[in-house]
């Protein structure tokens, strides 16, 4: 299974495949399971359907590593338009962004300026004000956390993602607890060297559980830390729910985030049992690299792709 995962992560970074794979119908049909469409209207309609089931949503436009200030400005303006439409919709809908979409490769100051514009606008949307910052590969981890810290100094409505497969994340979480951060904990989906990330799934799972315990500890919660547990792993979810119950954490205070189209029954179960169940909805044309990383997270989904092929 590790070989399959490695192959999928390699494919996610292959430029030749990135250009050609989306041209095949069976690939596009497979992607449709994990995103409602390529346009924001598709994501908005999916968010409405989820809201009717007591599940809140987040949206993100797929894409990363833009190469010009003009492209970064286009992404910023797109999200500003999205935030305006969210405000008009009245839905409890948040956005999640990659900093390389906002110009991180072109410089921290350019990226920060674009990010702050989104945080400012999001604050006008009651009940849906948080701007989530995605974590990308480990090469961006320190700069991402530094920019998050700068934003958090002034704005309470910003959150950041951390990845349990990185060795550094244990120390990063202590930094985030100290500033009363809003944190999304994920396992991690990029191809990383064994020198920076746990290579074995079992070790990642155990680290995820330990990090979740720390983020949900009395000390962290008393400081004002808000935590989102982002995993589709039902065994981990059960362990975290049991541990939270022993710590007398009320179910509505325990937030789980999952991806659209994955573990839909589990999303409904959590919402029905009183937990804060949320779904991240992706949309956009630049979905190839993201899709391959999703398959790498759960290689069993490759069977779904093969069924679409035949």
Instruction: State the pLDDT at residue 35.
Output: 85
Regions of the chain where pLDDT drops below 50: 1, 304, 306, 308-310
Collapse the DSSP code of 164 into the 3-class scheme (helix H, G, I; strand E, B; otherwise coil) and give the result.
coil
**SS3 sequence of 10-32:** HHHHCHHHHHHHHHCHHHHHHHC
Q: What is the pTM of this model?
A: 0.86
pLDDT at 211: 98
* Residue matched to tokens 């990308």: 136
d(CA 5, CA 49): 32
- Domains in the chain: ranges and CATH: 36-286 (3.20.20.220)
Per-state percent for the chain, helix, strand, coil, to nearest 5:
55, 15, 30
- Where do the H-state alpha helices sit in 14-106? 15-20, 25-31, 40-51, 69-89
Q: Kindly write down the DSSP assignment for every residue of 106-147, as one continuous string.
A: G-HHHHHHHHHHHHHHHTTSTT--PEEEPP--GGGHHHHHHH
Cβ–Cβ < 8 Å for 151, 112 = yes
87-112 pLDDT tens trace: 999 999 999 999 999 999 999 999 99
Q: What pLDDT sits at residue 261?
A: 86
Tally helices (H) and strands (E) across the chain: 14, 8
Cβ(66)–Cβ(101) below 8 Å: yes
Report, as residue numbers or ranges, the catalytic residues: 134, 184
Q: End-to-end alpha-carbon separation of the chain, Å?
A: 22
Q: What 3-state class would DSSP assign to 148? A: helix
């Amino acid at each position: 299974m590790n070989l399959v995962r490695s192959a999928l992560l390699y494919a996610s970074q292959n430029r030749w495949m990135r250009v050609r794979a989306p041209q095949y119908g069976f690939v596009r049909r497979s992607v449709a399971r994990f995103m409602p469409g390529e346009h924001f209207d598709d994501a908005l309609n999916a968010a409405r359907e989820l809201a009717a089931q007591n599940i809140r949503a987040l949206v993100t436009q797929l894409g990363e590593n833009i190469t010009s200030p003009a492209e970064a400005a286009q992404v910023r303006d797109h999200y500003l338009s999205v935030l305006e439409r969210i405000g008009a919709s009245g839905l409890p809908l948040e956005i999640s962004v990659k900093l390389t979409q906002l110009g991180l490769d072109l410089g921290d100051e350019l990226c920060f300026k674009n990010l702050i514009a989104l945080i400012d606008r999001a604050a006008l949307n009651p009940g849906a004000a948080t701007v989530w910052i995605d974590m990308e590969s480990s090469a961006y981890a320190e700069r991402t956390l530094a920019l998050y810290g700068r934003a958090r100094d002034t704005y309470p409505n910003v959150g950041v993602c951390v990845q349990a497969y990185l060795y550094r994340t244990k120390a990063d979480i202590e930094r985030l607890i100290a500033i009363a951060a809003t944190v999304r904990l994920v396992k991690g989906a990029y191809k990383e060297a064994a020198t920076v990330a746990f290579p074995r799934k079992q070790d990642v799972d155990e680290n995820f559980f330990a990090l979740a315990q720390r983020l949900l500890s009395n000390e962290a919660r008393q400081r004002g830390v808000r935590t989102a547990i982002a995993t589709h792993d039902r065994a981990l979810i059960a362990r975290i729910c049991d541990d939270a119950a022993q710590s007398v954490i009320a179910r509505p205070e325990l937030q789980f985030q999952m991806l659209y189209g994955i573990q839909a029954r589990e999303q409904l179960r959590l919402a029905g049992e009183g937990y804060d169940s949320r779904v991240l909805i992706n949309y956009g044309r630049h979905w190839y690299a993201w899709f391959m990383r999703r398959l790498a997270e759960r290689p069993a989904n490759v069977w779904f792709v093969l069924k679409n092929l035949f």
